[in-house]
Amino acid sequence: NPLPSKEDNWIIRNEMFEELGISFGTALIVLLALYFIIKWAVKNGIKEAYRDITGKVTTEDIEAEQICNEEEK
């Protein structure tokens, strides 16, 4: 049978993490952190492009500015 079994797949994955020197849990946490960092960066990039193209301010920017003004008082 040319396809690897489920046990073989587990062994291959385990060997991959061992070669990297990290556990599965650590890899999962790193991937989740990367996901949220990229998501945040894309969101901010889209907001900045929207401001540049339309000249309008987003509601999130207005709310953030109001919060900053309240903290300064």
Q: Where are the domains of the chain?
A: 24-72
Res 40: pLDDT: 96
Residue 42's pLDDT band (boundaries 50, 70, 90)?
A: very high
Stated pTM of the model: 0.59
Q: Each residue of 7-41: pLDDT tens digit?
A: 777 777 778 778 888 888 888 899 999 999 999 99
* Sign (positive or negative) of CA dihedral 26, 32, 63, 49: positive
Residue 1 has pLDDT above 70, yes or no: no
Q: Each residue of 44-62: pLDDT tens digit?
A: 999 899 889 998 888 888 8
Residue holding tokens 């309240």? 70
